[in-house]
Amino acid sequence: MNTLTLYFRREWQLMFRNTSSLIQPLTFFIIIALLFPFSLPAENALLQRIGGGVIWVSAVLATLLSLESMFHSDYHDGTLEQMLIHPRSLPLAMLGKALAHWTATGLVLSLFSPVLCLTFNIPSDQIWVLFAGLLLGTPSLTLIGAIGAALTVTLRRGGVLIAIIILPLYIPILIFGAGMLTQATQGLDVTSQLYALAAILTLALTLSPFAIAGALRVTIN
C-alpha cells in the first residue's frame, strides 16, 4: 500500500473509533453560526445578506479548533517520532493525514452548510454557490492550518498561537469564498472566484505537505 493511502486509512480508523472527533467540529460550527442571529436584529433581510459570511467565518473557526488536536495524540504516544525516522516520505504521509482530517471536518461542514443556509433564508441557487466554495476552500484551510499545528505541536499552550499565526493566512480564502456569495446575490458570474479558490487549493496541496514535514522536523528533535 502506498504511503498516502496508508496514512489516510490509519487516520480514518482512529477517527471512527473516537467519534467525538467527528461530532465536535460540526457542533461547534453550527453553534457559532447560530450565535449571530441571536446577537443581531432578527430581520430576515439582514440575516440573508450576512448569512454567507457568517457560515464562512464559522467554518474557519471550526477548522481552527480541530487543528490543535491534529498531531496531539500522535506526538504524545511517540508515533510522530516514528513517522519522522521512518524511510517513507514524510510529506506524502502528512498529505494523507491532512486529507483524512479534512474529510472529518471541512467535508462534513460543507455537507451540512445547506441546512444552515436554510435557517438564514439564503435562496437555493446561492446555496449551491456557497456549497461549492466551501468544498474548494476548506481543504486549503486544513492544509495551511496543519503547518501551524505542526509548528506548535510541542508547546503546551499552542491553541492561541495557532490562531495568531494561521488566521492572517486564511484571509484570501475567506475573501474569495465569501466574495463569491456577494457576487451571486448581485446576479454576477462567480467562476473567477471559483478559479482563485481552486488555484489556492492547488498551491496548498503541492506546497504545504513539505512545509508541514519541515515544521515537524524543526520542532521535534
Binding mask 187-206 for other proteins (x = CB under 8 A): ---------x---x--x---
* Region at 190 (left for phi over 0; alpha for psi -120 to 50; beta for the rest): alpha
219 binding other proteins? (CB under 8 A): yes
User: Which grid cell is 38?
Assistant: 441571536
Q: How far is the CB of 188 from other proteins (least distance, A)?
A: 13
218 binding other proteins? (CB under 8 A): yes
Q: How far is the CB of 41 from other proteins (least distance, A)?
A: 22
Closest to other proteins by CB, 23 vs 164, is 164
Residues in the chain: 221
Give residues 145-184 in contact with other proteins (rule: CB under 8 A).
147, 151-152, 154-155, 158, 161, 164-165, 167-169, 171-172, 175-176, 179
Among 18, 124, 191, 221, binds other proteins (CB under 8 A): 221
Give residues 127-146 in contact with other proteins (rule: CB under 8 A).
144
Q: How many CB atoms are closer than 10 A to CB 20?
A: 8
* CA–CA distance, 147 with 89 (Å, rounded to integer): 17
Query: How many amino acids of this chain bind other proteins (CB under 8 A)?
Result: 28
6 binding other proteins? (CB under 8 A): no
Closest to other proteins by CB, 98 vs 215, is 215
Closest to other proteins by CB, 48 vs 219, is 219
* CA–CA distance, 204 with 50 (Å, rounded to integer): 28
Q: How far is the CB of 34 from other proteins (least distance, A)?
A: 26
Q: Output 9-17 pairs: Cβ under 8 A, ≥24 positions apart.
A: 9/100, 11/96, 11/97, 11/100, 11/101, 12/100, 12/103, 14/73, 15/100, 15/104
Closest to other proteins by CB, 50 vs 169, is 169
Q: How far is the CB of 149 from other proteins (least distance, A)?
A: 13
User: Which grid cell is 62?
Assistant: 471550526
| Site residues for other proteins per CB under 8 A | 144, 147, 151-152, 154-155, 158, 161, 164-165, 167-169, 171-172, 175-176, 179, 196, 200, 203, 207, 211, 214-215, 218-219, 221
